[in-house]
Amino acid sequence: MNQQNTPSLTDVLDGLEKAGDDENVTIGQILDEVGDRSLAPILLVPALITASPISGIPGVPTLTGIIVGLIVVQMLMGRDTLWVPQGLAKRGVSRQKMGKAVAFLRKPVGWLDGLMKPRMSWLAERPWNYVALLICLAIAITTPVMELLPMAISIAAVAIGLFAAGLLMRDGLVILIGYGVVGLTIYTVMTLL
């Protein structure tokens, strides 16, 4: 953790790696490890999972889309802690698949961590953060359809990850880059259809 008690992106990955037992990693175990007191790092978790090779497992992008939707709705409501239904908290993936996903994400997340700093922080504050959150909600709602277009869902997950990282680190430039990635997602979907 840094001085402001804000977890870095690498801290969130470390939490993903530590979560679970010897065989499985459930959503509930991830929340126990990452914590449920700040919703921005929790929003980063399903985005990272969907941007990794785990998104190739049928149903995983839809599951992470549901989680993104739950998180975003609660962020829009102004909640500080996350509520997740017990049935959803018990869902998960194998430890081996999670380990591969975390290993895949280490380098890009570490690189992004090194670049991020508070700037243009007004984009991470109300009411401006609502734009990013509403876009994340729109992506979450369309995830079941986009799951049929693996390239599009991975790009959309990167956009959610950039929004979550920008909100977490109060980096408005990263949020702006997220808007650009949303444009790329829309272009990719239109091209693939």
H or E segment and range at residue 174: helix 172-192
pLDDT, position 4? 52
pLDDT, position 5? 63
**DSSP state letters, 10-63:** HHHHHHHHH-S-SSEEEHHHHHHHH-SS-HHHHHHHHHHHHHSGGGGSTTHHHH
Tell me the pLDDT of the chain (193 aa) as tens digits: 344 567 778 888 888 888 888 888 888 888 888 776 568 788 888 888 888 887 788 888 898 899 899 999 999 998 877 888 888 888 888 888 888 888 888 888 888 888 888 899 999 998 999 999 999 999 999 988 888 887 888 889 999 999 999 998 899 999 999 999 999 999 988 888 7
SS3 97: helix
Q: What are phi and psi of 25, to 5 degrees?
A: -130, 115
pLDDT, position 36? 60
pLDDT, position 69? 94
Could you tell me the residue ranges of all domains in the chain? 9-192
pLDDT, position 140? 94
pLDDT, position 80? 75
Name the pTM for this structure.
Answer: 0.81
Q: How far apart are CA 39 and CA 80, in angstroms?
A: 7
pLDDT, position 181? 95
pLDDT, position 3? 40
